[in-house]
Structure 1
Amino acid sequence: MKHVSILIPNGHYSLVNVEGTYQIFSWVNDYLSQTNQEPLFELHLVGQSQKVTQTNGLFTITPDVLLDDVSATDLIVVPAIHGDLDENLKNNSDLVPWVLKHHEGGAEVVGLCIGAFFLAAIGLLDGKPCSTHWQFANKFRELFPKVHLMDHKIMTESDGIYTSGGAYSFTNLLIYLVEKYGGRDLAVLASKAFMIDIDRSSQSPFIIFSGQKAHQDQLVLDVQEFIEQHFETKISIDELAREFNIGRRTLERRFKRATSNTIVEYAQRVKIEAAKKELELGTTTVSETMYHVGYADTKAFRDVFRRFAGMSPVDYRNKYVRELSSYSE
């Protein structure tokens, strides 16, 4: 039986992460008990004090054990902690040595959604793959360049460290852990009970690209604006360099440093985001959309679309148009 420590941090923690983890793992235990099998998880809510209230005052959790009560654990679950990272680390200073000590002692560690920021800040993710909410990917790359961020992934695993993508994708990681510890059949049953799409590996279809503009390089901001206003036409890097009176290499270097994308990648992402929005309306064919966003080569469009959206243009259109229309039937 796995001893599971679900941490209750100080600050504005994700109640959904905490309750969802407890609920799914408890369901597994209940199912096993009903079928005359031993439970899989020994679940504990672990806190730094007897009561932990979110900073917004809406919810209070009473941990059943405190940090010092846990002599050994097999799995540590760190929920998303919202707000300023430095403030969160300060408010949870007791958690840092506790997590590191138990990880060194063999415990596996799970960071849910932006809980990955906490794991990265205490050094557990250096040199490792990691996922987090796609909305905070650029900030994560800026803060933790030693971490191999894979923001398109629903989950990552490396040397006993697990991370999940954004929001409710943490449930996919929980199902993965059920399979790892309890087997495929049990994981399938749990996924059906909670209606979780098992084996989903990408959060790319859910990413909304709104430009990487949280930087102070005004020239790069102007170039980004220019690309977004002319996305339907083909613009070379040399043309951009002439338009903004700057050397090509200097422009490429500054653009990559500011946005974490090359100019070509940025232009592709702008085009694909425009294509996704058009396909979601269901009023044009894939070919029409392809031409509207500046592509003439079907294969090139399909390959780039799949790279950034995680599925083909046809599948994307069918997914969202069908799902929207089904609610009105």
Structure 2
Amino acid sequence: MRENQNTIEVALILQPNAQLSVVYGLIDLFKIAQFCNEKLEADLSTTVRITHWDIAKNGKTFECVFDSQPDSSKASPDFLVIPPTLNQIISSSDAVIWTDWIKRQHEEGAIICSVCTGAFLLAETGLLNGRKATTHWFQANSFQDKFPAVRVDTNKLVIDEGDIVTAGGITAWVDLGLHLTERIFGKAAMLKTAQFMNVDPTGRDQQNYNRFSPKLAHGDENILIVQHWLRKHYIDKTSISDMAEKAGLGERNFIRRFQHVTRLTPTQYLQKLRINQAKDLLELTKKNIEQISWEVGYDDVASFRKVFHKHSGLTPGEYRTKFWVA
């Protein structure tokens, strides 16, 4: 049992090349959350303690290298946050020492959280197997290849599985911090914290930012031929039989192999190619929605709007307002 039931410890681990904006940003966010909670005159007895943990010099144990309440007695963390790395993702061999410790904290009751590519280290523990999780959309294929037992959903910015919380995106530490603020202090304090920081409260989706990155390094040459062909002919009226013929395969065999290596049906894949191009045109040109619809292969503008919203979570007009740079 914890000695101080009103002190909530949020521990961050300093894996190699950890993103420091996450490590230090969460210190500031929880200071602001504490301030906002006090202004609300809510539960003034609850405080957030931030600790940072790293591998000790002996290379076998862990030590606390930062403590926002150094005079307080030590206790197991309530939340353990795994920040992302900005360059090379930690290897499975280097992750071993961390995974054993993370699993031990989970067994002792800590809620395990990850930000962006920190999900790779979390997945190495096996705790994500059979669960839904998110990571940065750019790493979705790599993550799914390495951890097929995890149900990846990079449309979501934060996925809360109760004892496991994952956040996707490089700056999603803000969204995770606000999410944890709500769990610790309540919704009113979370909203006040978001307002104070001039950021949107939790609830936004990573789907708005996703760009399709086709999986090409799969080794199936017949399917790769079709992928390269579709990249040039995505605006054409293309049928499954056309694709199968291009691959030199029967239709059923083509569909099976295509889905196996891309994790998409041929129709879904073609839609994603078209929506990617539409996003480019919305961001970089002043062409109207009807023109863009035709240029990416949709004769029916209403159908284009429906498919665009399905893949981006925004209407074409909303997307242009948010991302137009021309």
Report TM bin, short chain: 0.7 to 0.9
Residue 35 of structure 1, CA deviation:
7.0
Determine what percentage of the aligned residue pairs are the same residue: 27
The residue aligned with 1:24 is 29
2:22 aligned with 1:48, yes or no?
Answer: no
TM alignment of 1:52-91, pairs within 5 A:
63-64=65-66, 71-81=75-85, 82-86=87-91, 89-91=92-94
The one-letter code matched in structure 1 to 2:254 is: L
The one-letter code matched in structure 2 to 1:249 is: R
Measure the CA separation in 2 of the matches of 1:173 and 1:84: 20
Measure the CA separation in 2 of the matches of 1:140 and 1:103: 22
TM-align CA RMSD: 2.4
Measure the CA separation in 1 of the matches of 2:47 and 2:142: 37
* TM-score, length of structure 1 as denominator length: 0.87
Cα deviation, 1:89-136, whole Å, max 9, x if unaligned, reads 433433222211121121101011111111111111111110000000
**Counterparts in 2 of 1:84 and 1:283: CA distance versus 1, 3 Å:** closer
The one-letter code matched in structure 2 to 1:80 is: P
Measure the CA separation in 2 of the matches of 1:192 and 1:38: 23
TM alignment of 1:83-232, pairs within 5 A:
83-86=88-91, 89-232=92-235
Measure the CA separation in 1 of the matches of 2:58 and 2:166: 27
**Counterparts in 2 of 1:16 and 1:50: CA distance versus 1, 3 Å:** farther
Measure the CA separation in 2 of the matches of 1:102 and 1:256: 38
Cα deviation, 1:180-216, whole Å, max 9, x if unaligned, reads 2111221112112222211333112211223221322
The residue aligned with 1:38 is 45
Asked whether the equivalents of residues 306 and 313 of structure 1 are also in contact (C-alpha less than 8 Å), the reply is yes
Measure the CA separation in 1 of the matches of 2:37 and 2:55: 31
Measure the CA separation in 1 of the matches of 2:174 and 2:58: 26
2:294 aligned with 1:291, yes or no?
Answer: yes
Cα deviation, 1:155-195, whole Å, max 9, x if unaligned, reads 10113100011111221121111112111221112112222
Aligned residues: 309
Measure the CA separation in 2 of the matches of 1:266 and 1:49: 47
Asked whether the equivalents of residues 28 and 39 of structure 1 are also in contact (C-alpha less than 8 Å), the reply is no
Asked whether the equivalents of residues 89 and 117 of structure 2 are also in contact (C-alpha less than 8 Å), the reply is no
Measure the CA separation in 2 of the matches of 1:286 and 1:51: 61
Cα deviation, 1:12-69, whole Å, max 9, x if unaligned, reads 21112211222211222344457773353111111222799xxxxxxxxx8126xxx9
Gaps of 5+ in 1: 53-61
Asked whether the equivalents of residues 258 and 265 of structure 2 are also in contact (C-alpha less than 8 Å), the reply is yes
Asked whether the equivalents of residues 51 and 63 of structure 1 are also in contact (C-alpha less than 8 Å), the reply is no
Which residue of 4, 10, 16 corresponds with 1:4?
A: 10
**Counterparts in 2 of 1:48 and 1:92: CA distance versus 1, 3 Å:** farther
SS at match of 2:50: strand
* TM-score, length of structure 2 as denominator length: 0.87
TM alignment of 1:200-279, pairs within 5 A:
200-279=203-282
SS at match of 2:171: helix
Which residue of 306, 311, 314 corresponds with 2:309?
A: 306
SS at match of 1:64: strand
